[in-house]
Amino acid sequence: MTRADMDAVRDAFAAAARRSARLGIDAIQIHAAHGYLLHEFLSPLSNQRTDDYGGSLENRMRFPLEVFDAVRAAYPADRPVSVRLSGTDWVPGGWDIEQTVAFSKALEARGCSAIHVSSGGLHPAQAIPAGPGYQVPLARAVKQAVSIPVVAVGMITDFDHAEAIVATGDADLIALARGILYNPRWPWHAAAHLGASVSAPPQYLRSQPRQFPTLLVKGGGTAFD
């Protein structure tokens, strides 16, 4: 990419942030994981540049940080901007958790609201030890290094497992993807299992389960008959 190409991409990120604000989006996230462009700048496996944007960690972080600064400046200050990272490439000599921690600290210093820790997605040689919570140690390492919220993700499908990750301080939030596709009411079922309540629109109160009479409490929305 030429400097002009990089400027165009940076400005496009900022323009997207401004559109999100106009649409009333409450929070946005910059995707810098899974082999997407910003991850390609970060990882020494993909970044083969020999200018100020390649080589050292400081140089490889430079363009992603420029993008973050542009997005943060374009989005209302009272709304959060988070960043999703790959905590490791799972390839020797690639992006790793130590570099992730350094990048997370730099993002925090610039006003990042939260770090979402995923992994992989960059290189075909990746050897991912997939299993329930396999990325939690990556989130834990970031959590121990920053004071902003950290999100854990990756094959977290069990209610008690998710609760334990938060309760032990390994992460502040749990993200679900395929688990939500399979069970769109996962948060409600988790609340029922853990004895909690959730806020629901008035029309949903009619579905209050007999065995969980305090699960659903009146929230926002309009009832339709």
Query: What CATH number should be reported for the domain holding residue 111?
Result: 3.20.20.70
Query: What single-letter DSSP state applies at residue 206?
Result: G
Q: Is residue 155 one of the residues assigned to a domain?
A: yes
| Crossing angle (nearest 10°) for helices 3-22 and 57-74 | 30
* Co-location of 19 and 64 in the same domain: yes
To the nearest 5 percent, what fractions of the chain are helix, strand and coil? 40, 15, 45
**Number of folded domains in the chain?**
2
CA distance 140 to 146: 10
CB atoms within 10 A of CB 24: 7
In a domain, 191, yes or no: no
Contact between 42 and 62 under an 8 Å Cβ cutoff? The reply is no
Give the domain extent around 153: 3-184
Tens-of-pLDDT digits for all 225 residues of the chain? 999 999 999 999 999 999 999 999 999 999 999 999 999 999 999 999 999 999 999 999 999 999 999 999 999 999 999 999 999 999 999 999 999 999 999 999 999 999 999 999 999 999 999 999 999 999 999 999 999 999 999 999 999 999 999 999 999 999 999 999 999 999 999 999 999 999 999 999 999 999 999 999 998 654 433
Q: Is the same domain home to 102 and 54?
A: yes
Q: Are residues 14 and 71 in contact, defined by beta-carbon separation less than 8 angstroms?
A: yes
- On whether both 164 and 201 belong to a single domain, the answer is no
The verdict on 87 and 110 lying in the same domain is yes
Is position 190 within any domain?
no
Residues 62 and 10 in one domain: yes
Unique residue bearing structure tokens 């990089």:
6
Is 189 part of a structural domain of the chain?
no
| Active-site annotation, residues | 36
Q: What residues are paired with 179 via a beta bridge?
A: none
Residues 28 and 126 in one domain: yes
Do 133 and 201 share a structural domain?
A: no
* Residue 102 domain flag: yes
Do 158 and 178 have their domain in common? yes
Do 140 and 204 belong together in one domain? no
- Is 27 found in the same domain as 113? yes
Nearest residue to 119 via CA among 136, 144, 106: 136
For the entire predicted model, the pTM comes to 0.93
Give the DSSP per-residue string, 124-145. Answer: TT-----STTTTHHHHHHHHTT
